[in-house]
Amino acid sequence: MRSDAMKKGLEKAPHRSLFKACGYTNEEIQRPMIGIVNSANEIIPGHVHLDKITESVKKGVLMAGGTPIEFGVIGICDGIAMNHDGMKYSLPSREVIADSIECECMGHPFDGLVFVPNCDKIIPGMLMAAARLNVPSIFISGGPMLAGVSNGVKTDLVKGMFEGVGKVKAGEMTMAELDKLEDVACPGCGSCAGMFTANSMNCITEALGMGLPGNGTIPAVYAERLRLAKYAGMEILEIVKKNIKPRDIMTMKAFENAITVDMAFGGSSNTALHLLAVASEAGINLDLKKFDDISKKTKYICSLSPGGPHFLEDLYFAGGIPALLKVLAENKRLHLDCKTVYGKKIGDVVKGAEVKNSDVVRPWKNPYRQEGGMAVLYGNIAKGGSIVKQSAVSPDMMKHIGSAKVFDSEQNTIKAILGGKIVKGDVIVVRYEGPRGGPGMQEMLSLTAAVAGMKIKDVALITDGRFSGGTKGASIGHICPEAADGGEIAVIKDGDIIEMDIPNRVLRVKLSDKELKDRLAKWVKPKPKVTSGYLARYAKMVTPSNQGAIFKKEICDL
């Protein structure tokens, strides 16, 4: 066993003594040692109950004859970190999570790992660690939050609260009404109820083959979630016994399956960042072109909040991710021979699946849209690509030409929006918010939700930063190269005409090559916003967004 390195033989007597100091018996020390990677804390709604999930995992490990050993991992709530300096730390925390797990699991060589994440950067950070360590692993998430209910209508954090801020500003809702909504929009534990980043990644983990069926959709508060955690705990012993490793599962075909499912349910645009990062750790050469190629041949058949009428609980009742896989498989859009950590192939999962609500998971011949959820746009201000969640863009905004209103920070932009300075037809340009320039590539849900809530018509937003999975509308992020790296977005001026053509994958400013070149020659690189601490180091080490915003590989070669 891998754990023999810290417990077996004469020279490990001192080590065994330390285990006994923790209360472990000889019998427990002799069994396979399973690390339980628990990201529970008391500030993320998706994580406040993970202690209970972890206890169930431990019971499963014990039932199967292993010894569970729990350790903790940090986590940031993107909703609470939104629209202040805390958001600068959200994406960078992904690297801390992966690195800290590596440290823990190399310092203590466990035989297998059960990862217990639920929200945003914690899931991809753990997937990165699993791929990097390549130790037998399985994932069990905390599950989605139930939708809130206000005046008999389902709602969630984005549709209710973030858009509510804009509605109050526009005079369409009173502060008293918003106060009442505040009490019911997020009714309890779990990852926020729409297909935002957290639920997108948990569902993708299931499609990738790293989690049991139901991992992405069983509601957080259901006892079925605890039972699934016990099964995950039991299953890890089988995975260890068979020596099934993450890189055996996370192949190029598995990533193609995961992207296909992502496109079919219109997941968060952040999934592009995260899957690129996980693939890099798994030694898979994935790029943005793959996302766009798959999106063009995958129909959008599952429309969840914020772009659609349904919530994660609706997908659960409709048959979950297996139901979605079934439709995709019937239309030859999946690699059915891909393995899963629990011993079955994706084709086996499909055989037992059933679509129980054809409005939530639509038939292939009756999709919500003919293409998948994401599009990758290129042009003279996005030579390295940019990303839009096209499934959340209204049909009349799939093509747009407008005048630029340029801002060098998210904070100045939200002031302008709430101050009534953005009008119909504008293209809001937010720059110096990329991985290096932010630093940290902030999410900008507050901006898009304010525009939606204030009902400012025909407005597009482009940025070298990124958007929450809760974003809807003509919001184009991940523009590469970013402003801080001297990308063309750095020299756009107020009044420049921006053309966005999603069907033809174009994003450009209507300026000649000579004019752009002349402006860039006069551009002066601004001083870093942060000069000390983790963010300063992150800004120096991070790669562009079209490479997943991971740390530069050449740093390891120094």
Q: Smallest Cα–Cα separation from 471: which of 209, 267, 300?
A: 267
Coil vs helix vs strand at 71 = strand
The Cα–Cα gap between 479 and 387 comes to 7
Active site residues: 468
**Residue 288 neighbours by CB under 8 Å, 6+ apart:** 272, 276, 376, 385, 387, 546
Task: Quote the Cα angle for 267-95-121, to 5°.
Answer: 30
Cis previous bond, 439, omega within 30:
yes
The Cα–Cα gap between 157 and 102 comes to 33
Q: Smallest Cα–Cα separation from 306: which of 418, 157, 436, 205?
A: 157
Q: Which amino acid is at 146?
A: L
**Residue 325 neighbours by CB under 8 Å, 6+ apart:** 207, 261, 334, 346, 349, 350, 353
Q: Which two tokens stand for residue 327?
A: 């439709």
Do residues 147 and 220 touch, judged by C-beta distance below 8 A? no
Give the C-alpha distances (Å, rounded to integers) separating 244 from 130, 248, 339, 361.
Answer: 12, 7, 10, 32
Do residues 323 and 356 touch, judged by C-beta distance below 8 A? yes
The Cα–Cα gap between 244 and 172 comes to 55
